[in-house]
Structure 1
Amino acid sequence: MWDYTDKVLDLFYNPKHQGVIEDKDEPGVKVAVGDVGSIACGDALRLHLKVEQDTETILDARFQTFGCTSAIASSEALIELIQGKTLDEALKVTNKDIASHLGGLPEAKMHCSVMGQEALLSAIYNYRGIKREAHDDDDEGALVCTCFGISESKIRRVIIENNLTTAEDVTNYVKAGGGCGSCLANIDDIIASVQQQAVTPVSASPNTNGQTSVNKLTSVQKIALIQRVLDEEVRPVLIADGGDVELYDVEGDRVKVILQGACGSCSSSTATLKIAIESRLRDRVSQDIVVEAV
């Protein structure tokens, strides 16, 4: 038997937020739904949010979960964490927060907390009219685990966000490798790649202003590095706030980008360019970089 905390068992046996929220066309209120998982894979969660449009405050939330004790308790914990929060505040809730709220989860059940976080993102993107596939590359790239339909991009994201170091860890968090096991070697390779990227410094040298810039990069290498920094270090932060960025062009040290989603219409888009994007590219690529929106 799994070693569940008292909190997990209490929320499993006494859930208060199971069910649906019907859209009754109330003025100033909008209902959004987010789905994640599949019954065929053993776990599925549908999250309903009732949101006050003027303030984007979550007035109510309900869940429908097909799954184990941890899945139901994680769904209940998620709702306890987001009730009364604005959507932007709710976006900051992570799977670690869900597990912590429960007093911990067995390692083999951490995927339940990840499922809750992903259902929340899905519901909020649906509320804001953002197609998630355009703002989350989890479904893009090579399919690593065919048993559970998990892509390389999703595995990389979970490894980075949760500091995972073994294939067993990855299985616990997203189920990849938990079926036939034929992808475990590929998962080990992805972990090694992530760890190598984390410890490999950018080759740099001081320029005439005493600042640091990338040394001996060809134009192609420079563009590839810029794209990598955007994909791995910038986009996850913007996506968490309902936005995104796309690399448009690189002309010398001028990097042109397209702000999307919430970032494209946000009044603080200039700050996003300078703080979230330009400063990161200057740290990782070249101090001479200037980022512009097109």
Structure 2
Amino acid sequence: MAKNSLINGSIWEQYSQKVQDRMNNPRYMGEITEEEAKARGGKLVVADFGAESCGDAVRLYWLIDPKTDRILDAKFKSFGCGTAIASSDTMAELCIGKTVDQAVKITNLDVEHAMRDTPDEPAVPPQKMHCSVMAYDVIKQAAANYKGVDPAHFEDEIIVCDCARVSLGTIKEVIRLNDLHTVEEITQYTKAGAFCKSCVRPGGHEEKDYYLVDILKQTREEMERERLQAQAEASAATSAKAGAEMSFEQLNLIGKFKAVEGVLD
């Protein structure tokens, strides 16, 4: 049965040809056994990660040269939709040949860009972007297993937008530096909220601890308080300067007392 008879053909048009190819013919699906790792002189690392939002799960196998920390081979098993399979397959390919420290820097955006047919056309529809996030998270888990640390070790800040891996600190900084006033501007500058949109406001694909609408409101309020404080300090400094320029005879009793104190000090 043709795929257009199963679902509307326009849906398939939102997936790149690379994604469709990897859905049907993944190149790195499988597993690496302890026996194989030993025969090839490498260390086997196995990591699991599941996405609560959609119920998908992925298992990643790394074969690592312990002398160089370089990933000699990578395989995966995926329990999820076709997009999860395509993302995991691409992720495994991106890992091969990199050191563990290099691999952990692979983001979900790197995975999504690698699946594009052309640089300017997204590989998957926005609501499926979270599948590439799962591929990113399992890399962190594998690196953590290899190094004996917690996966949080690889996160510098609180992540607000999982799809674009944009942190709370980055969003606040961009709002301040560029004097942003709308969520659309935040998305334009950072890509946060451009995909599944769960981080934009409550009620999206999944529940979040931080939302762009709230971050924008709070940051703008902080900026306004800081502006008013700076104005007040500037006004006080101007008044103090004007007072200092007055002659001793022009000062009132309190002013003369403070002037004498200043001289004594």
> Could you tell me the TM-score, scaled by structure 2's length?
0.58
2:98 corresponds in structure 1 to 85
Over the residues paired in the alignment, what is the CA RMSD in angstroms? 3.5
Higher mean displacement: 23-32 or 1-10: 23-32
**How far 1:41 sits from its partner (Å)?**
3.9
More relative contact order, 1 or 2 (CA 8 Å, 6+ apart): 2
Asked if the contact 2:84/2:131 (under 8 Å) is kept, the reply is yes
Give the 5 Å matches for 1:261-280. Answer: none
Give the 5 Å matches for 1:199-210. Answer: 200=222, 203=226
Q: Pick one of 128, 146, 150 that aligns with 1:127.
A: 146
Partner amino acid for 2:205?
G
Residues 127 and 165 (structure 1), Cα distance of their counterparts in 2 relative to 1, 3 Å cut: same
1:113 corresponds in structure 2 to 132
Give the 5 Å matches for 1:86-235. Answer: 86-103=99-116, 104-132=123-151, 155=160, 158=165, 160=167, 163-165=191-193, 169-170=197-198, 177-178=204-205, 183=207, 190-196=211-217, 200=222, 203=226
1:22 is aligned to 2:33: yes
Q: Distance in 1 between matches of 2:212 and 2:111?
A: 24
2:3 corresponds in structure 1 to none
Q: Give the 3-state SS of the residue equivalent to 1:79 in structure 2.
A: helix
Cα deviations by residue, 1:132-185 (Å, 9 ceiling, x for unpaired): 3566599xxxxxxxxxxxxxx55466453864248951279xxx8437xxx5xx
Asked if the contact 1:45/1:63 (under 8 Å) is kept, the reply is yes
**How far 1:105 sits from its partner (Å)?**
1.4
Q: Distance in 2 between matches of 1:52 and 1:120?
A: 17
**How far 1:116 sits from its partner (Å)?**
0.3
Higher mean displacement: 45-54 or 24-33: 24-33
1:227 corresponds in structure 2 to none
Give the 5 Å matches for 1:249-268. Answer: none
1:36 corresponds in structure 2 to 49
The structure richer in helix per residue is 2
Higher mean displacement: 119-128 or 195-204: 195-204
Asked if the contact 2:59/2:76 (under 8 Å) is kept, the reply is yes
> 5+ residue gaps in structure 2?
1-10, 117-122, 171-189, 228-232, 234-265
**How far 1:195 sits from its partner (Å)?**
2.9
**How far 1:203 sits from its partner (Å)?**
4.9
**How far 1:62 sits from its partner (Å)?**
0.5
Q: Give the 3-state SS of the residue equivalent to 1:61 in structure 2.
A: strand
Q: Distance in 2 between matches of 1:28 and 1:197?
A: 54
- Number of residue pairs the alignment of both structures matches: 182
Residues 137 and 93 (structure 1), Cα distance of their counterparts in 2 relative to 1, 3 Å cut: closer
Q: Give the 3-state SS of the residue equivalent to 2:75 in structure 1.
A: strand
Q: Give the 3-state SS of the residue equivalent to 1:92 in structure 2.
A: coil
Asked if the contact 1:166/1:191 (under 8 Å) is kept, the reply is no
Asked if the contact 1:46/1:65 (under 8 Å) is kept, the reply is yes
Q: Give the 3-state SS of the residue equivalent to 2:97 in structure 1.
A: coil
Q: Give the 3-state SS of the residue equivalent to 1:12 in structure 2.
A: helix
1:12 corresponds in structure 2 to 23
Q: Which has the larger radius of gyration?
A: 2
1:63 is aligned to 2:84: no
Cα deviations by residue, 1:75-128 (Å, 9 ceiling, x for unpaired): 111112111111111122111110011112111100011000000110011011
Q: Give the 3-state SS of the residue equivalent to 1:33 in structure 2.
A: strand
Asked if the contact 2:51/2:134 (under 8 Å) is kept, the reply is no
Q: Give the 3-state SS of the residue equivalent to 1:48 in structure 2.
A: strand
1:243 corresponds in structure 2 to none
| Percent of aligned pairs sharing the same letter | 33
